[in-house]
Amino acid sequence: MRRGLLFAAVGATGVLQYFTSPTSLHRLYILQRLYYVAIALGSLDMGWRGGLSVALLSGAAFAIGTPSIWTVSRVDMFDQCLEICVFCLVGVLTGILTDRQRKQQHALRNATDELRQAHQDLRENFESMKRAERLHALGQLSAGLAHEIRTPLASIEGAAAIVQRVSHSEERCHELLDIIQKESRRLNRLLTSFLDFAKPRRPDLKRVEIDDLFNSVMALVQHAGNNRRLELTKDTPPGLPMLECDPEQLKQVLLNLVMNAIQAMPQGGTIVLAARQNGDTVSLDVHDQGCGISEDNLDRVFDPFFTTKETGSGLGLSVADQIVRQHGGKLIIARSSPEGATVRISLPLKPSHT
């Protein structure tokens, strides 16, 4: 349809040229330039072959147009042939450029389709990996929880069986009942930690002074160092901005880190709570002088139920890591050596509300 209209337009231009008076040079000049419009449209629509076809048709219409134009405008046969050659050259060059552009667009569409398909495949693979990771984590959690529950349950069962089977003195019964009570409290702490890990509470954000936060934590753990030659200090430079956080949750994290540091220094030592501002973030560091964390365990310290202690659920750092993440921050091991370790809480001054 479009090609037919294009050829008809060239023919109409030739007819108008034929019937135009030789003295109307401006009209003849305009009609002559209309051929270039038709040639360009043909090249854009049909490529170089279509452009050449329209150019040859335009040349024929131009040549057999008004014969007197050559006398009035003093253009000889050589100029006429040269004009027709220019028609063909414009048609071919415009068509070649059009064909090249179409090939590039086709290649771009193919590349876009391939990228879209690759992105879709990547998303599907990522979702599959996430599902597999969740199942793996669930298996680890289940195995760890079962292992942690089995030990106190065995103690409770054994103590209850002894009390039921044999008559004992009142002192012995109290001892066995203490075992039952102790292991029951241990189970309760374990389940509380597991629930904190599985379904953490959303932070109740408030603006707090970092120095006040450190003072609260130091007051809570001060009694733990009385018999261990423990020194607990803080390093907070003046001018620190207020931190927007859940103070109770952050106290829980810092308390967990400090208690870990105390347990890493059975002979006593110094623990330093330090704070530094780094642009829009604040780093809260807990330095100790313990034996550090072995290189083999650095990648596992935040895994649920992983612990190197004889007692403990292995959920403390996992819960702490989740709390810090809910605040938009990161919990990392900034330094670990035989001379001590540094655990860093990196928090934004204004966490994003999700």
Whether the predicted pLDDT of 253 surpasses 50? yes
Q: Please state the rounded mean pLDDT for residues 312-318.
A: 68
Is pLDDT of 67 > 60?
A: no
Which is higher by pLDDT, 260 or 201? Answer: 260
pLDDT at 91 over 50: yes
Give the residue with greater pLDDT, 93 vs 191: 93
Contacts of 274 (CB under 8 A, 6+ apart): 234, 235, 236, 283, 284, 285, 287
Residue 156 makes CB contacts below 8 A (sequence gap 6+) with: 179, 180, 183, 184
* 32 pLDDT above the threshold of 70: yes
- Of the pLDDT bands very low, low, confident and very high (cuts 50, 70, 90), residue 102 is confident
pLDDT for 73 equals: 47
- Which residue ranges make up each domain of the chain? 2-104, 142-198, 206-348
- Secondary structure in 3-state letters for 15-36: HHHHHCCCCCHHHHHHHHHHHH
Check whether 98 has a pLDDT greater than 90.
Answer: no
| More confidently predicted of 293 and 344 | 344
pLDDT at 72 over 50: no
**pLDDT mean over 142-146:** 62
For residue 69, name the pLDDT band (cuts at 50, 70, 90): very low
Mean pLDDT value across residues 4-28: 71
- What digits encode the pLDDT tens for the residues 167-189? 556 677 777 777 777 777 777 76
The fold of 142-198 is Helix Hairpins (1.10.287)
Computed on alpha carbons and rounded to an integer, the radius of gyration of the chain in Å comes to 43
Alpha helix segments (H runs only) across the chain: 2-19, 25-63, 69-72, 77-165, 170-198, 210-221, 247-263, 316-326
Q: Could you say which architecture CATH assigns to the domain 206-348?
A: 2-Layer Sandwich (3.30)
319 φ/ψ angles, rounded to the nearest 5 degrees: -65, -45
State residue 261's pLDDT score.
Answer: 86
Global pTM?
Answer: 0.49
Read off the pLDDT of each residue in 311-322 and give the average, rounded to a whole number: 72
Better-scored residue on pLDDT, 118 or 315: 118
Asked whether the beta carbons of 251 and 216 are under 8 A apart, the reply is: yes
Q: Is the pLDDT of residue 113 over 60?
A: yes
Q: Is the pLDDT of residue 315 over 80?
A: no
Mean pLDDT of the chain: 76
User: Scanning the structure block, which residue is given the tokens 């027709």?
Assistant: 84
**Helix, strand or coil, per DSSP, at residue 290:** coil
In this structure, what DSSP letter does residue 289 have? -
Confidence at 70, pLDDT banded by 50, 70, 90: very low
- What is the arithmetic mean of pLDDT over 64-74? 52
102 by DSSP, 3-state: which? helix
Q: Among 37-51, 129-143, 174-188, 194-208, whose mean pLDDT is lowest?
A: 129-143
Determine the pLDDT at residue 186. 72
Q: What is the mean pLDDT of residues 48-67?
A: 75
